[in-house]
Amino acid sequence: MTSEDGANATKRDETDGGALERMNANLARMDELTKRLVGALSQRQSSDQGLQGPGPELYAKAMAAYWAELANNPGKLIERQVGYWGQALRHAMEAQGALAQGKPAPAPDDLPKDRRFANPLWDEHPYYNFLKQQYQISASAIRDTVSELGGLDAADKRRVEFFSQQIVDLFAPTNFLATNPEAMQRAVETEGESLVKGLENLVRDIEANHGDWLVTLSDPDAFQVGGNIAATEGSVVFRNRMFELIQYAPTTKQVHARPIVLFPPWINKFYVLDLKPQNSLIKWIVDQGYTLFVVSWVNPDASYADVGLEDYVTDGYLTAIDVAREITKQDQVNAIGYCIAGTTLAATLALMARRGDTSVASATFFTTLADFSDPGEMGVFLDDDFVDGIERESKQKGYLDKFFMGRTFSYLRSNDLVYGPAIKSYMLGEAPPAFDLLYWNGDGTNLPGPMVTEYLRKLCLANELATTGFSLLGEDGLTLGDVTVPLAAIACETDHIAQWKGAWHTVDKMGSDDKTFILSESGHIAGIVNPPSKKKYGHYINDEGLEAETPEDWLEKAVYHEGSWWPRWEEWVRPRSGKKVAARKPGGPNHPVIEAAPGQYVKSKDRAA
């Protein structure tokens, strides 16, 4: 052996020894983390079974429908089953034959593309390609069987399809370490360090949710509310038990006399409309010369166990409107309601009309459903079993923990908001990205039990505001027909929470003679947070108003316009905002500035505020 050979051998021994040392260190760290994980899981509090999935009645209905289908049309189901067996077996034989002949090439793959299988190994490696194709064949067979299942009404059919798809998504081979080539490759390349980091991320998430699991979507340390997000200049000018009212500082010398009062949903925090200056709707409205007030709702805890929807109307909507009028010395305001806050704004306007209260000059609705005859994708959760679970859970704790609503909305897009992020975080050991929108998405709020139960039972399930009439603060029979103020509604084309056709029907049933409906491209958030500077999503307008018989007819005659809907809405609200007056500083004699925006309520992060 030459001296060079000896040196190389020594270097290899040192390299191998270093790798072994790192591997042992990683294994030791995993042992520590496993103990922490067990401890974190032991902190999990019991929650109502109604919040974990559909009730047994749905499974019973699905099984009864399946057996009825088998009895009435056995040939059809047997044919489908035999077809599935044949396709799966044929593919297995092709894959086995390729391996037996020493050909590592995968069997032919003509199945639909799926971005979960974007890694080239899913196509190039025969074993992983086999797993992928077998999963896709099985998934397709399940979906086809469920879609052709008869004997169920439309709501039950939609729920069976949704929850069966949840099971299909759960068992994708991408979700398991041993069958995910990218995760296995990363573990080998990093000598197990990726798995250590992944376990650290998992333990962090379990600890953060007190024993429950919900994947962290954004770097929790990348943003500071009031620092690099929610930073538009303004002041808290009023505070009560339900909300803080923020008045934003003017950026123009003159402003329109009539102020705008914006009511965001209290399921999340208001700053989705003020993430950063470039995409802040709040800043943009102020920059157009408007005095803007924004409601920042409290994050309730057990002390709010008695709070119902009427408290949000009395101590929220009506109070905020009165304070804004008093500060600006105006008789009327223009109001905006977003999502659930839009639904409640509609009920409030119906109440005000019944009382002869003309404090609101016009109303704008962002992605608002108040006619729940077709709730869209959210309908899978709008059933008695789910609402019963919410009611029992909130009665026990005094409130509904934000964890449950966060998880519910995440599973509407499970591959994008649950499994995909979990793979990156836990299997690949990646840190969550610094993404402001996802940070906001994880910064939810608790809900008072009586409020959420009343909202779901009366406004969603019974659809009272759109049909028989809703009772509010002593006024019975309130309907959408009582909403008579001039109104504009912005719906979003791919909205999975407030589907746009339902938003169209909501506006169609309102009693106003002055209606404008705008359909934005994109979804529930991106369609609203769509600044003109980005020139990203366009919108549709129909100059005939809502004269069409159906939303489909409306869209067929609508004209597409490039760019954001924001300027078009501003053109609509401008003539309803009065003459120009000198810009106003926040606050007034009876409502002095309490503190700088964004205030205290929005910063509450505890599961129980």
Q: What's the first-to-final CA gap in the chain, in angstroms?
A: 72
**Which uninterrupted H or E stretch holds 332?**
none
The Cα angle at residue 37 between residues 32 and 43, in degrees rounded to 5: 135
Amino acid at 422: A
d(CA 585, CA 437): 30
Catalytic residue, chosen from 131, 275, 333, 339, is: 339
**Which uninterrupted H or E stretch holds 492?**
strand 487-492
Neighbours of 557 (CB within 10 A): 12
What tokens were used for 123? 């196509």
User: 492 an active-site residue?
Assistant: no
Residue with tokens 């959420």: 452
Answer positive or negative: Cα dihedral of 591, 595, 599, 601: negative
Q: DSSP letter string over 270-308?
A: GGGG-SSGGG-HHHHHHHTT--EEEEEE----GGGTT--
d(CA 347, CA 351): 6
Residues 269 and 402 sit within 8 Å (Cβ to Cβ) = no
- What is the DSSP-derived secondary structure letter of residue 490? E
Question: Radius of gyration (Cα) for the chain, nearest Å?
Answer: 28
Distances (CA, A) of 134 to 57, 88, 92, 512: 31, 6, 8, 55
Distances (CA, A) of 547 to 20, 171, 466, 513, 518: 74, 47, 19, 11, 14
Cα pseudo-dihedral 140, 142, 147, 153, rounded to 10:
-160
Q: What SS3 string covers 494-511? A: CCCCCCHHHHHHHHHCCC
Answer positive or negative: Cα dihedral of 487, 492, 498, 502: positive
Amino acid at 351: L
Neighbours of 149 (CB within 10 A): 19
Active-site positions read 339
